[in-house]
Amino acid sequence: MSDNQTDKALDESRKESPGDVGLTDTGLTDIETRISAARTRLIIEKPFLGALVLRLPAVQAGTWCRTTATDARKIYFNADYIRALDLDETQFVLAHEALHCGLSHFARRGNRDKRRWDIACDLAINPLLVSEGFKLPSGALLLDGFEGMTAEEIYPAIDEHFEDEPLDQHIYDAGEQTQSGTPPEPVPDQDAGRQREAGNEPGETSGSPQQHGTETRSPQPPPLTTPEEASLKIQWQQRLAGAAQQAMQAGKLGGQLARLVDYLLQPQLPWRSLLAHYMTAIARDDYTYTRPSSRRGEPAIYPSLRSGQVNVVVALDTSGSISDEEMRQFASEISAIKSQARARVVLHACDTQLAAAGPWPFEPWEPLELPTTLSGGGGTDFGPVFQWVDRQDTPPDLLVYFTDAEGAFPEHTPIYPVIWLVKGKASVPWGQRVQLN
């Protein structure tokens, strides 16, 4: 980062911090200074995370907040908690909350149990921050074996009796119920008597900030509504993309974080629709200039669409990463699509080598059915399928490879189109990558 960029970042951090922390001049200046310093260091040293943190004003919370929290709009903090942290730990908690928002954890829970989902989100984020050199505060969740995994992948491994809790609070989503089936108890407030005298109930959930001496403390905001969640999801996806682009230009985005961002920014469109559209388009892009019948009396010859057969090679990765049920579903979809596109399909199965019983050809009118047994389970080498194609008289109109993309790719890009239908986060060096979701 250049000197001018550094000065600009410092000015931007100073400009946002004093007004958005919600602190007065008496007693909390040290907290304001620490948050501002942590933000500034993130902007300079970790521009991707720094850009996300700058989108979240920091607000002092009431006693409902034990440590830190986020509602996908702001970062809330307990002043006593921040005061006990050093600068490195403060950077961690700010980046942690920003990643919850940047990764859209607030919009990805679905029907999952809230408590287990919150734990899975923390177990997905914390290894990323540790790998980036951040200092883990006391009490933050970190378990071996979850590195490089998304919250969705971690969630099934979280037992409902898992005793540990997330360090922070995810207040964008109230959840329906706790595991016991009853609403969670509010955090006890030492100033409850004073609140009642002022006409407020304990818990500081009213709509206006609460006064504690000379300090203004923010009440706990309500969970996001469905329209708010949808709007914020779009905003944070745009912010994630912008922050990643800036960091890559500065050469300061790599490792697990870069791979996760790349995965999240992949088009998340239904793969069935994409594949059907692609194959149907190929079936209609062949033109003929055959002279029309002389009885029409038309002297000019115009190109017209010719409906011809499409030749497609379909390859299945049998290295063990794709389950039998997923292969059956995939074969069923291909069978339905190929009849619409008038496609002749040649099916291959491959791990490090082609299945000895293959290939299996299917004419346009024949349903595509998987062989009774598919051998495999070793490593993954994509080369044999492409080598087989090279030995044929004519190249296919399309090759579709169903895989996790974890393997050895051919060095050279083929002359025919290739679609990689990918399960997982791995990237491909060439061809069209379609995410299986």
Bridge partners of 217, per DSSP, are: 210
Going through 103-251 in order, the beta strands assigned E by DSSP cover 169-170, 210-212, 215-217
Structure tokens at 175: 């959840």
Q: List per-residue pLDDT tens for the chain, 437 residues long.
A: 444 544 454 454 444 444 444 444 444 578 888 899 999 998 888 888 888 999 999 999 888 999 999 999 999 999 999 999 999 999 999 999 999 999 889 988 888 889 899 999 999 999 888 888 889 888 888 888 778 788 888 888 888 778 888 889 998 887 643 333 333 334 334 333 334 333 443 334 334 455 544 456 788 888 889 889 989 988 888 888 888 877 777 777 767 777 777 666 665 546 666 677 776 666 654 444 445 544 555 555 555 544 567 888 988 888 776 677 777 777 777 777 776 667 888 998 888 888 888 789 888 888 887 777 766 566 788 999 999 999 998 888 889 898 888 888 998 899 888 888 888 777 888 888 877 75
Give the CA diameter of the chain: 99
Name the CATH architecture for the domain at 271-435.
3-Layer(aba) Sandwich (3.40)
Domain with CATH 3.40.50 in the chain: 271-435
Buried b (16+ CB within 10 A) or exposed e, 58-94: bbbbbbbbbbbbbbbbbbbbbbebbeebeeebbbbbb
Over residues 179-227, the pLDDT tens digits come to 333 333 343 343 333 343 334 433 343 344 555 444 567 888 888 898 8
Pair 405, 422: CB distance under 8 Å:
yes
Q: How far is CA 89 from CA 34, 71, 414, in A?
A: 10, 21, 50
Structure tokens at 291: 């002279």
Pairing type for strands 360-362 and 169-170 reads: unpaired
pTM > 0.85: yes or no: no
Buried b (16+ CB within 10 A) or exposed e, 426-435: bebeebebbb
DSSP 256-268: HHHHHHHHHTS--
Over residues 214-268, the pLDDT tens digits come to 456 788 888 889 889 989 988 888 888 888 877 777 777 767 777 777 666 665 5
Pair 430, 418: CB distance under 8 Å:
yes
Distance CA 172, CA 183 (A): 16
Distance CA 242, CA 240 (A): 6
Q: What are phi and psi of 370, to 5 degrees?
A: -70, 145
